[in-house]
A and B are shown apart, each in its own frame.
Chain A
Amino acid sequence: MPIVEPSLVTVKREEKLELDGIDVSGDWNTFLEPRVHTDLDLKIVDWVRSQPQGETISRCWQCGTCTAGCCMHTDYGLEEFNPRYFIYLAQIGYEEELRKYAQTIWRCVSCNKCVERCPKGVKVEEVVHTIGTYLEVSGGAPESPADRFDRAYTENLLARGVLDEAALFRTYERLEGRKTPARDLLRLGFTMLLSGRLHTGPFAHRTRGWRRMRPVLTKILEEEERARRARVEAPASRARGGSPGRAP
């Protein structure tokens, strides 16, 4: 199958584009994201401080003692797990950058070496987990292909209570915005059909009583989503109004 990664080859057609009087119309396919950090925001650090486990975050002065001794960072070698950096991003409110680590942040194994060694008494392990919680309840990580697959899977399952592999593939392709060539699709379909792993069309399974089950499940999912939103919004608004002079 050919590799089609849309995010790498997006072409933007500019019919009429002029920069400083020079005509630069045409196909543009290379865009550099600006690296300049342009704002400071106290939203995250205020939220973290408002949580009982997170209130020592404001003590951090970025010495890096925690990261130097971190099991994950140093011993296990997971370079992107850097508790000092997570704390800094939260302190300056750089949410976009922090969100890239929304998954990684949970790799902490709570050995608590950082807490033991921190010269400023930051409860690093608790603070990092609080930052992770913030990211989790405020929208999680940026959607990855795996997340989109999960979404397609859930949608597919909710439709009939049982998986339809062909429909799943179609939905996922739509979410990813890619198209697999027909020849490859046919070959894959036949192989799966012959080995008894494709249940679609006339071979599709059904779930008895699904029409009654489905609203129950949908309602549960909706309630969970509502609870998740309430969790992040309520403490954040409390934190903003709270006294910043409060000693932890």
Chain B
Amino acid sequence: MNPVLVLGGGPAGLSAAAELASLGAPALLVEKENYLGGNPKRWHYSLLAPDLKPAEEVLGELLRKVEGNPRVETRLETTVTQVEPAGKGFRVSLRTRETLETREVGACILATGFDHFDSRRKYEYGYGRYPDVLDFKELEGMIHDDRILRPSDGAVPKRIAWILCVGSRDLQVGNTWCCRMGCAVSIKQAVEIRQKHPEIDAYVYYMDIRTYGLWEDLYWKSMQQYGVKFIRGRIGQITMAEGGKRLVATGEDTILSRPTEVPFDMIVLASGMEPGHGTQEAAKLFHLPVGPEGFLTPKVADINPVDSGIPGLYLAGAATGPKAIPDSVTEGMGAALRAFQYARD
């Protein structure tokens, strides 16, 4: 049996490779970076919502199943540059910096994932210009190392604001969808900070809080147990005050129906999810249709969310839209099963 190509080493890809191996099928796991673990690894995610389990623990479980598994062949710093049909499966060209190799695979799983929105595109928030305006993926690393300090002067911030939906639900940057994670992750970050540093005040500026399903519990706890404050209104711009020492968030408090200009020591932007660079490349490579948002689209999303519509080609994880890690892991398993069924006979 030819191996099943799994493109992408994030949670969905790891889960697919691990599942294929457990079914007794060989898997060829290809990752463009020099590590496995995808975005959670890249940005040093701290605890994962909603159970507040360390990211290492969740990823570690998947990595253990893959690394050193004789049925999983892992290729790091490798990209697929060419694809053509070969029998029932595909013939793919794998390129590293030095080598180019052609392999025959029985089926393909695309787990190419997402990229965080580049907050610099929301120029009015001053990300990239003001050092104390952070992207929440950077704060995630700070929380991970428990060094909550202002980048500008290294002082401990007294008051932090989170701004939700940065690069999400926003026609101006062309991203009309909800990232699904921003609310939960921001609230989780606020909770983590309040747990460790109760002297820091935490405010979240929101339009809607979308901690969907059972994640709602996190939102409730954050108010009740950790005193995180929520202010309804989308911040319009961030400026500097007090001689460039403090940030001021300008917006409308829509509950007060009043303009608000409040100083903060640090402002964290909950940047949205966009189709990853790898996902865009994969769409071109396999001539796959993409939706209006740029994500890959399953043939029939509600009946089989992992089937691409091309025989032998399956989709998993955030390549088809913003997704939480548990959902990506589940889809990786589903895609592995479908690919196994296809490539088996």
Which A residues are closer than 8 A to B by beta carbons?
Answer: 35-40, 42, 49, 58-62, 85, 88, 91-92, 94, 97, 120, 243-248
Contacts and interface: CB of A to CB of B under 8 A. Distances in A.
Given A39-B262, A62-B232, 9 more contacts: A36-B260, A37-B259, A38-B262, A58-B224, A59-B220, A88-B255, A245-B195, A245-B225, A247-B224
Given A62-B232, A245-B198, A40 B203 contact: yes
17 contacts: A35-B258, A36-B260, A37-B253, A37-B261, A38-B261, A40-B203, A58-B227, A59-B223, A92-B231, A92-B253, A94-B256, A244-B198, A245-B198, A245-B227, A246-B225, A247-B224, A247-B225
Contacts of B223: 58-61
Nearest to A247: B225
B263 A37 contact: no
B254 to A, nearest CB: 10
Contacts of A37: 253, 256, 258-262
Interface of B: 159, 194-195, 198, 201, 203, 209, 220, 223-227, 229-232, 253, 255-256, 258-263
Residue of A40, A49, A58, A97 with highest tally of chain B CB at under 10 A: A40
A245 B225 CA distance: 6
Given A40-B203, A120-B220, A244-B198, A91 B226 contact: no
A35 B253 CA distance: 11
User: Top 6 nearest A-B pairs by Cβ distance?
Assistant: A244-B227, A37-B260, A244-B198, A36-B259, A247-B225, A59-B224
B230 A88 contact: no
Residue of B220, B224, B255 with highest tally of chain A CB at under 10 A: B224
Nearest to A64: B255
B248 to A, nearest CB: 9
Nearest to B264: A40
Contacts of B232: 62
A44 to B, nearest CB: 12
A39 B231 contact: no
A36 B60 CA distance: 49
A62 B260 CA distance: 18
Contacts of A62: 232, 255
Contacts of B203: 40
A231 B201 CA distance: 26
B279 to A, nearest CB: 36
Nearest to B202: A244
Contacts of A85: 255
A18 to B, nearest CB: 24
Given A59-B223, A244-B198, A247-B224, A40 B261 contact: no
A36 B261 contact: yes
Contact of A36 (B195, B226, B255, B258): B258
B258 A91 contact: no
Contacts of B224: 58-59, 247-248
Contact of B198 (A38, A91, A243): A243
B226 A244 contact: yes
A35 B257 CA distance: 10
B255 A39 contact: no
